[in-house]
Amino acid sequence: MSIYGGYLDSTGLENATTETDADVKGSGAFMLVLGTDLDGSRELQLQFMQQSTTLTPGGSASPFDLTVRYLHVGGTAFIDRPIGHGPYAVGGIGATFFSPGASGYGSETKASLNLGFGYYWPITEKVALRAEARGFFTLVDSSGGFLCSGGCVAVIKGDLFTQYGAMLGLTARF
């Protein structure tokens, strides 16, 4: 089991009316990972991440709170080493859940994946520190109407919502 804290920034959404960027503010995030060994150098994982941020839609629309959550199945592959030592590649596939905190907008669920690299520093036989850089890629595929619910204060569109950032974590192996 691992718990991470980090910072994510993003790109890929725009105001469909003004054709300007809709800014999802960079902010802190946390991630929980449950895993099991597949073999000597690979882990299978269930990954959950959440970021509470602000979306500024552009135009005359007011900024509003936005919670972005990821639920992915994936894993790690340690590079030329056994599990628990040194560099690894990480990834997952699943869904992104967008929950706006303002009336006039609706929640959305979209397919997504994440890819990244990390480094594992053992502290003891069962506890380690981890550092990761990850990219999260969500297929929005909207020409206007993303986050709309029967009407929209600001019409937001995008093809690929991208988040990227760095995470530090603590792992306990049982």
| pLDDT per residue as tens digits for the range 162-174 | 999 999 999 999 8
* Residue 49 structural domain: 2-172
| pLDDT per residue as tens digits for the range 75-133 | 999 999 999 899 999 999 999 999 999 887 889 999 999 999 999 999 999 999 999 99
Among candidates 51, 64, 62, 141, which has minimal Cα distance to 106? 64
Tally: H helices and E strands in the chain: 0, 10
Does residue 25 contact residue 163 with C-beta atoms inside 8 Å?
no
Q: How many CB atoms lie within 10 A of CB 86?
A: 14
Number of domains in the chain: 1
Residue 103, pLDDT score:
82
Q: The domain that contains 134 carries what CATH number? A: 2.40.160.20
Q: How confident is the model at residue 148 (pLDDT cuts 50, 70, 90)?
A: confident
For the chain, the 3-state helix, strand and coil shares in percent, each to the nearest 5, are 0, 70, 30
Q: What percent of the chain has pLDDT over 90?
A: 75
- The answer for 126, left when phi > 0, alpha when psi is -120 to 50, beta otherwise, is alpha
